[in-house]
């Protein structure tokens, strides 16, 4: 068991492109940690750098109390499950699971015994003599996990662990992964582009963009207090409404309406300053009669989400998305008012896009 | 429209279809027989007391085999051919696998250009065009009349094609397999042995047989590089079967030809059975 400590980590490709750009991250012992970001943001490169599959250009990497910046992949105490699972097609399930032990010159009988024990723990009973090609996607993933944990690694790395499974199986596998991680207590880092997956699984999330770390925090922190507009827009199943506007008379102007500045930002903004006002679609209420502080708006598009409806509205030139409970859905063209939950609003600097307050 | 004309048309089509099938089968049988004739000759002539170049019902005898056994070089030459074939195969498979793996995994500037250039030049190395320079190089190296020289030239001529084919096989093996093995502490040779070679096995099996067949039938290289008659492989020895009057000795040639073709067929079936041309699929991603 070990924590991971990356300091000023840089991975530069030939040609000067930085896949990972001066990343500082501390992952605690036993933590379930997510690297989240859009494709090409460097999250997989960071994971592969931790594994040792990518040579680090600058900075240092410590696993446990050992500096492994230049250590061979096999000497870092890490195990990894690849996106395509990388099961050897010419070996049966038992040999696949026991392959790490074979490299460590463990005897054949002991290898088989360990493989069977680990396989049982991952509900792979009776499949030990099958070839990977004869298994379902979910079973293949469990074999890959079994192979990774068979050697009791200090750190478990998962590259997009759920992306090769179909939607229904994905939810099952998500629960399964979380249980497995808790039972083993192994420090686990996983890469995903799916914010819902990260929020559901991780103890803490690192959000990345263009090789740079944007924010590290618990799922609640990154959801409630995003550091900048990128994180605000990336986290959440419906992206946060971000409206560029100005501060007037101690309030935020949305057309004719003035909305109070978020708690904690009083005194940090001055009159006339351009800011970005952010509120999640879930925290806006759609009402059909005027209320104090409500923003007049007109519905343009209605999207059904099942238990709720997502409506797009126009409010004096600004576009908002609002989640409305299923029984009160308006029709396109309806006029009404938006009531923001004052405590849930955020303010970002228009230039730096950083959160104010 | 009544039903009768329809039935007539249908019957007509069936008849025409049937006749077409019969004609096709007849033509194919004739073509097939034409191709089978030399093979029938190959099987029958050795058992004929007086074989000729025409095909006739043999005057059964085993004398030809007895005569062949008296020839001091005949059986030994088959052994020599085996030695050259297997030797070249070992060199080519080992070096080819290593080179193809490296070519597939390491980025070398102009890699594809190098491969194509090698492929083009290789046909010259073992070909007639380079006969004189090859002979001179081997003489200068002092390797004339030695198996080492023949093996080097044969392997050199075959290797580029082998690398080209094997590289394709290795390109198709996902890198994640090796990276996975690396994470468990396996070194490059270990990975090649445990992961890459087993998956590329159909390719390696094909290369092995193909190499032996190439060497088995190669006449020119051993002919110019080997002097002693007791070192000649079968393909060259066949060239020496003349009667005293300078006529081709069909009794010896036919018998020897049958023996000459047997090992290649046996090797093919053994390798195909043991290693098989099966393919392992990866995971679709």
Cα angle: B169, vertex A45, A15; to 5 degrees: 85
Residues A288 and A247 in one domain: yes
Q: Which residues of B touch A52 (CB under 8 A)?
A: 183
CB-nearest to B176 from A75, A79, A86 is A86
3-state secondary structure of B207: helix
Residue A356 belongs to a domain: no
The enclosing domain of A48 has a CATH number of 3.40.50.300
Residue A197 has pLDDT above 60, yes or no: yes
The enclosing domain of A306 has a CATH number of 2.40.50.140
Among A201, A227, A253, the domain-final residue is A227
- Candidates A103, A135, A137, A138: best to mutate against B (most CBs of B within 10 A) is A103
The pLDDT assigned to B280 comes to: 44
Q: In B172-249, which ranges are continuous DSSP H helix?
A: 175-183, 188-191, 197-199, 201-217, 220-225, 234-237
Q: Which has more pLDDT, B280 or A239?
A: A239
Residue A132 belongs to a domain: yes
Radius of gyration of chain B from its Cα atoms, rounded to whole angstroms: 26
The pLDDT assigned to B279 comes to: 43
Q: Report the chain A residue with the minimal C-alpha distance to residue B195.
A: A88
Cα→Cα distances B105→A32, B167, B179, Å? 33, 9, 12
Whether residues B183 and A85 touch (CB distance < 8 A) is answered with no
The residues near A278 (Cβ < 8 Å, ≥ 6 apart) are: A226, A229, A232, A240, A241, A242, A243, A345, A346, A347, A348
- Candidates A78, A88, A96, A137: best to mutate against B (most CBs of B within 10 A) is A88
Q: Which has more pLDDT, A316 or A245?
A: A245
List phi, psi (to 5°) of B248: -65, 130
Among A193, A227, A261, the domain-final residue is A227
Whether residues A82 and B179 touch (CB distance < 8 A) is answered with yes
Alpha-carbon gap, residue B204 to B167, rounded angstroms: 11
| Cβ proximity of B183 and B64 under 8 Å | no
Alpha-carbon gap, residue B127 to B130, rounded angstroms: 6
Query: pLDDT tens, A66-84?
Result: 999 999 998 999 999 999 9
The residues near B4 (Cβ < 8 Å, ≥ 6 apart) are: none
The pLDDT assigned to A254 comes to: 87
Query: pLDDT tens, A293-351?
Result: 889 999 999 999 888 999 999 998 899 999 998 887 889 999 999 999 988 999 999 99
Question: DSSP letters of A201-236?
Answer: H-SEEEEEETTEEEEEE-HHHHHHS-SBHHHHHHSS
Whether residues B179 and A132 touch (CB distance < 8 A) is answered with no
Q: B108 vs chain A: nearest CA distance in angstroms? A: 14
Domain encompassing residue A208: 4-227
Residues A89 and A136 in one domain: yes
Residue A234 belongs to a domain: no
Residue A105 belongs to a domain: yes
User: Residues 43 to 72 of A: which have CB under 8 A from any B CB?
Assistant: 51-53, 72
Residue with token string 């696993």: A63
Whether residues B184 and A83 touch (CB distance < 8 A) is answered with no
Q: Which percentage of chain A shows pLDDT scores above 70?
A: 100
* Cα A125 to the center of its chain, rounded Å: 32
The pLDDT assigned to A131 comes to: 93
* Cα B124 to the center of its chain, rounded Å: 18
Whether residues A90 and B186 touch (CB distance < 8 A) is answered with no
Residues A65 and A112 in one domain: yes
Residues A12 and A71 in one domain: yes
Torsion sign across C-alpha atoms A38, A40, A42, A47: positive
At A304, list the tokens. 């059904």
Q: Does A3 touch chain B if contact means CB atoms closer than 8 Å?
A: no
Residues A255 and A311 in one domain: yes
Q: Report the chain A residue with the minimal C-alpha distance to residue B185.
A: A74
The pLDDT assigned to B119 comes to: 85
Alpha-carbon gap, residue A152 to B203, rounded angstroms: 36
Residues A97 and A223 in one domain: yes
Alpha-carbon gap, residue A87 to A137, rounded angstroms: 12
The pLDDT assigned to B283 comes to: 38
Helix (H) or strand (E) holding B192: none
Q: A88 vs chain B: nearest CA distance in angstroms? A: 7
Whether residues B177 and A88 touch (CB distance < 8 A) is answered with yes
A212 forms beta bridges with A209
For the residues A128-132, what does the mean pLDDT come to? 92
Residues A196 and A288 in one domain: no
Residue A236 belongs to a domain: no
Residue A130 belongs to a domain: yes
Alpha-carbon gap, residue B216 to B230, rounded angstroms: 17
pLDDT tens by residue, chain B, 285 residues: 445 555 666 778 888 999 999 999 999 999 999 999 888 888 888 888 888 887 778 788 888 888 888 888 888 898 999 999 999 999 999 999 999 998 888 888 888 888 888 888 877 766 778 888 889 999 999 999 999 999 999 998 899 999 989 998 889 899 999 999 999 999 888 998 999 989 888 888 889 888 998 999 899 899 999 988 889 998 888 888 877 777 788 888 888 888 888 888 887 788 777 765 554 444 333
The pLDDT assigned to B276 comes to: 58
Among A171, A195, A227, the domain-final residue is A227
The pLDDT assigned to B206 comes to: 84
If phi over 0 gives left and psi between -120 and 50 gives alpha, with beta otherwise, what is residue B163? alpha
As for how many domains chain A has, the answer is: 2
Q: Which percentage of chain A shows pLDDT scores above 90?
A: 65
Residue A220 has pLDDT above 60, yes or no: yes
Residues A223 and A245 in one domain: no
Residues A97 and A123 in one domain: yes
Q: Report the chain B residue with the minimal C-alpha distance to residue A51.
A: B183
The pLDDT assigned to B284 comes to: 35
Residue A129 belongs to a domain: yes
Q: Does B142 touch chain A if contact means CB atoms closer than 8 Å?
A: no
Residue A210 has pLDDT above 80, yes or no: yes
Residues A15 and A147 in one domain: yes
Residues A181 and A48 in one domain: yes
Cα→Cα distances B153→A150, B31, B193, B229, Å? 49, 39, 27, 19
Residues A223 and A246 in one domain: no
Residue A340 belongs to a domain: yes
């Amino acid at each position: 068991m070990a924590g991971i400590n990356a300091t000023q980590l840089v991975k530069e490709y030939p040609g000067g492109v930085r896949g990972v750009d001066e990343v500082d991250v501390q992952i605690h012992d036993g933590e379930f940690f997510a690297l989240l970001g859009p494709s090409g943001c460097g999250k997989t490169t960071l994971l592969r750098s931790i594994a040792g599959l990518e040579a680090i250009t600058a900075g240092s990497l410590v696993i446990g109390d050992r500096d492994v910046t230049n250590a061979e992949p096999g000497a870092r105490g890490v195990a990894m499950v690849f996106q395509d699972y990388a099961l050897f097609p010419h070996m049966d399930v038992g040999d696949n699971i026991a392959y790490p032990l074979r490299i460590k010159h463990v005897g054949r009988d002991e290898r088989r015994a360990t493989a069977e024990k680990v396989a049982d723990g991952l509900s792979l009973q009776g499949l030990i003599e099958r070839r990977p090609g004869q298994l379902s996607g979910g079973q293949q993933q469990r074999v890959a996990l079994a192979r990774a944990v068979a050697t009791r690694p200090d750190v478990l790395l998962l590259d997009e662990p759920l992306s090769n499974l179909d939607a229904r199986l994905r939810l099952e596998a998500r629960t399964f992964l979380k249980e497995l991680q808790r039972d083993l207590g192994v420090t686990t880092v996983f890469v995903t582009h799916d914010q819902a997956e990260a929020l559901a699984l991780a103890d803490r999330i690192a959000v990345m963009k263009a090789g740079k770390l944007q924010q590290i925090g618990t799922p609640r922190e990154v959801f409630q207090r995003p550091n900048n507009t990128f994180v605000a827009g990336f986290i959440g199943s419906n992206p946060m409404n971000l409206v560029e506007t100005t501060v007037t008379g101690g309030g935020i102007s949305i057309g004719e309406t003035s909305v109070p500045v978020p708690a904690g930002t009083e005194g940090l903004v001055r009159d006339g300053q351009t800011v970005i006002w952010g509120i999640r679609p879930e925290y806006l209420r759609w009402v059909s009669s005027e209320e104090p502080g409500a923003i007049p708006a007109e519905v343009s598009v209605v999207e059904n989400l099942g238990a709720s409806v997502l409506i797009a509205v126009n409010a004096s030139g600004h576009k908002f998305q609002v989640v409305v409970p299923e029984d009160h859905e308006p029709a396109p063209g309806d006029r009404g008012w938006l009531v923001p939950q004052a405590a849930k609003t955020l303010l970002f600097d228009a230039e730096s896009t950083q959160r104010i307050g | 429209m009544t039903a009768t004309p329809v039935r007539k048309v249908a019957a007509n089509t069936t008849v025409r279809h049937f006749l077409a099938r019969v004609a096709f089968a007849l033509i194919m049988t004739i073509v097939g027989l034409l191709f089978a004739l030399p093979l029938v000759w190959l099987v029958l002539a050795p058992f004929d007391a007086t074989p000729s170049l025409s095909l006739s019902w043999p005057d059964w005898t085993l004398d030809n085999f007895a005569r062949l056994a008296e020839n001091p070089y005949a059986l030994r030459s088959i052994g020599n051919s085996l030695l050259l074939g297997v030797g070249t195969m070992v060199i080519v498979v080992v070096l080819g696998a290593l080179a193809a793996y490296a070519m597939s995994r390491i980025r070398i500037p102009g890699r594809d250009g190098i491969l194509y250039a090698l492929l083009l030049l290789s046909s010259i190395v073992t070909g007639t065009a380079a006969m004189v320079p090859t002979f001179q190089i081997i003489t200068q190296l002092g390797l004339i009349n030695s198996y080492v020289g023949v093996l080097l030239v044969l392997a050199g001529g075959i290797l580029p094609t082998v690398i080209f084919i094997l590289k394709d096989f290795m390109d198709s093996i996902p890198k994640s397999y090796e990276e996975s093995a690396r994470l468990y502490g396996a070194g490059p040779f270990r990975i090649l042995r445990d992961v890459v070679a087993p998956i590329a096995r159909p390719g390696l099996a094909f290369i092995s047989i193909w190499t032996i067949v190439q060497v088995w039938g190669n006449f020119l290289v051993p002919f110019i590089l080997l002097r002693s008659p007791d070192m000649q492989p079968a393909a060259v020895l066949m060239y020496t079967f003349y009667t005293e009057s300078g006529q081709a000795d069909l009794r010896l040639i036919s018998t020897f030809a049958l023996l000459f073709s047997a090992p290649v067929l046996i090797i093919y079936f053994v390798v195909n059975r043991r290693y098989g041309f099966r393919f392992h699929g990866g995971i679709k991603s």
